[in-house]
Structure 1
């Protein structure tokens, strides 16, 4: 009888001590299952995260980044300027898919981009610091009409309107190009400069 009493007492201590631990473990396991699902459902892979994922898949220098629905389109130039990859980064999961890779690029075409002190990611941060919102587009713009090259950055504000900035590739200073009504997905190709 004493033996049963000791076993019962020991079991009670284990259950009392283990109960909260088991409940906490179950709660954290449940939270672990729901957080990634919620994150994926929101589709909140940022421009910065899309750049990081693209560069991990294809190392080099980002030439452009553009959000199109649930996909980030990222163009990367290798550091020697001879390779170019067109990548897609899923905005919900961060998964990268190579769409096109070219290893026969003329490196002289990318000389200014490769020499820029400010990266695409830094240009995006500078634009957001000047005008709060989310980076939607970052493009290297090396005009043929005599203007110095710059980063063109499109920021979408919480109100849905876009703000276009020029970011100096040496200093990182962002200046406004124009305000637009937010119904374009980067129709600034060739118009702003």
Structure 2
């Protein structure tokens, strides 16, 4: 009887704090074992969570990520600059390795591996300057038009408009991407 009282009291405290899923689990081990799978709360992984899950599975640096429905596609280059892995991260954070191979040209990935600003830091910088939700991240070190290595971050704003931002790989400065087809040129707050 005392056990039930303590469990009920703990469940009440958790419910008051807004944790209904935790309270359901706290009501007893027997109840938790018989709960239907549909009772498990769905966790939606954002771009940052997808990058973190991918790096936990395959340590290195994120080269790119984008969302395709409920799946994040993440490409990770190993810290050695030679190995890479194509990973899929589900909305629950489960990681599936789709492809893993070696590229004998480590020099090609040297700037990415040595970049001062990581994909995660670039996402944070872009969202600090332009709030919304990150929908894709791409490393760009082409010397096209003399551009320095940078991250291209696609952000979807609360109004549904999607815009592209470049984040410097050396200092984290955020600018409106010149190849942004959705930008009408009115956003001139180059942070």
Task: Report the TM-score when normalising by structure 1.
Answer: 0.75
The secondary structure found in structure 1 opposite 2:41 is: helix
Structure 2 residue runs of 5 or longer lacking an equivalent are 13-21, 27-31, 184-191
Structure 2 residue 31 is the aligned partner of structure 1 residue 37: no
Q: Select 1:180's aligned residue among 162, 179, 182.
A: 182
Structure 1 residue runs of 5 or longer lacking an equivalent are 1-14, 182-193
Structure whose CA Rg is larger: 1
Q: 1:133-148, aligned counterparts within 5 Å?
A: 133-145=132-144, 146-148=146-148
Match of 1:158 in 2: 158
The Cα of 1:38 is off from its aligned counterpart by 2.5
Runs of 4+ aligned residues of structure 1 deviating over 4 Å after TM superposition are 25-29, 31-34
Structure 2 residue 8 is the aligned partner of structure 1 residue 23: yes
Task: Report the TM-score when normalising by structure 2.
Answer: 0.76
C-alpha distance 20-50 of structure 1, shift in aligned 2 (>3 A)? same
Q: 1:89-104, aligned counterparts within 5 Å?
A: 89-90=89-90, 92-104=91-103
Q: 1:10-159, aligned counterparts within 5 Å?
A: 15=1, 20-25=5-10, 28-30=22-24, 37-40=40-43, 44-90=44-90, 92-145=91-144, 146-159=146-159
The separation in 1 between residues aligned to 2:65 and 2:104, in whole angstroms, is 19
The Cα of 1:101 is off from its aligned counterpart by 0.4
The Cα of 1:107 is off from its aligned counterpart by 0.3
Q: For residues 79-121 of structure 1, what are the alpha-carbon distances to aligned partners after superposition, in whole Å with 9 as ceiling and x for unaligned?
A: 111101100000x210000111012341011111112100001
C-alpha RMSD of the superposition: 2.4
Match of 2:29 in 1: none
Match of 1:167 in 2: 167
The secondary structure found in structure 1 opposite 2:42 is: helix
The secondary structure found in structure 2 opposite 1:39 is: coil
How many residue pairs match? The answer is: 162
Q: For residues 134-170 of structure 1, what are the alpha-carbon distances to aligned partners after superposition, in whole Å with 9 as ceiling and x for unaligned?
A: 1111100112424222100001111111121000001
